[in-house]
Structure 1
Amino acid sequence: MSELVLKQFELARGGILKDLEGVSPEIFDIQPKGLSNTVHWQLGHILVVTELFLFGQNGQLPAEYNDYFGYGSRPSEWKEGIPSVETILEQLKSQLDRIKAISVDSFENQLPEPILGNRTYGELVYFTAYHELTHAGQIHTILRAAQAS
């Protein structure tokens, strides 16, 4: 069963990449009316949250990524130095390789303290997969709204 959640990450990331095929790059930073973020932010947010939950505070991302893409951040508050969508997409692909290498034996490990109600690493992995799929849906919605405008 645990292997299935790792496969879910592969399916979700594949779906996101498929949604982005052939999309004009300027679409990535359009924030459609009534929505609070952009595709660019959504991609960065998936990357940051997954890195934090599955690989910890000392993951492989620069610390400032949390300022750009963490909970409560907004693209309207961005200054300079934001990583490009291309960079984020490469990091998402690299991160997926690391996710697929997670040992399912680690799923039973207790977390030092619960994270969003999750008490084991496995629960957190499942929650993170759910989180990613939620944002994949947001990306799809933003793309459709931005392309229609």
Structure 2
Amino acid sequence: LSIRGIDHFSINVVKPSKEMLVFSIRPEIAYSVYSSPKGIAEDLAISPTFYENLNFYFWEDCYKEKNKEQFMLKKEYRFGILAGAVIVYKKHGVHYLFSFASKTSREEFKQNIFINRMAYKAIAINVLELIQCSINKYIYPHCVQNKCKVINICDQ
């Protein structure tokens, strides 16, 4: 992407049932981490502990301290990613985890996304609007099949 130094972007959709869908421009990152129960247990970036209580957090703050370096190697350094952050968007009982990461300077990215959170969130909401129909198929399958009116998840 390289917009605002973004080298990775994903939208993790947490359904009311707590199931998670991942839409990503770099699916290999999520796959390498979440394809094992150990990865899910150690990377708390997708944990309700964070997304239910915070609107913004950095990836590095979500790793268990005892395995932090090993996990950063697997998730970040392996893909050239130096820093990542999550912006949480909640609508109609659904949590959207907008995950951004960069290959640029760790401190530069962290400062940029922290200061410009609303701009990053606006970018993510625009993408969310583009893929809304695909997401609705998984969140509201009975409505899509029956051609019911589906709630617009992007209403401000």
Shorter-chain TM band: under 0.3
TM-score of the superposed pair, with normalisation by structure 1: 0.24
Q: Report which of the two has the higher share of helix.
A: 1
Normalising by structure 2, we get a TM-score of: 0.23
Q: Which has the higher contact order (CA 8 A, sep 6+)?
A: 1
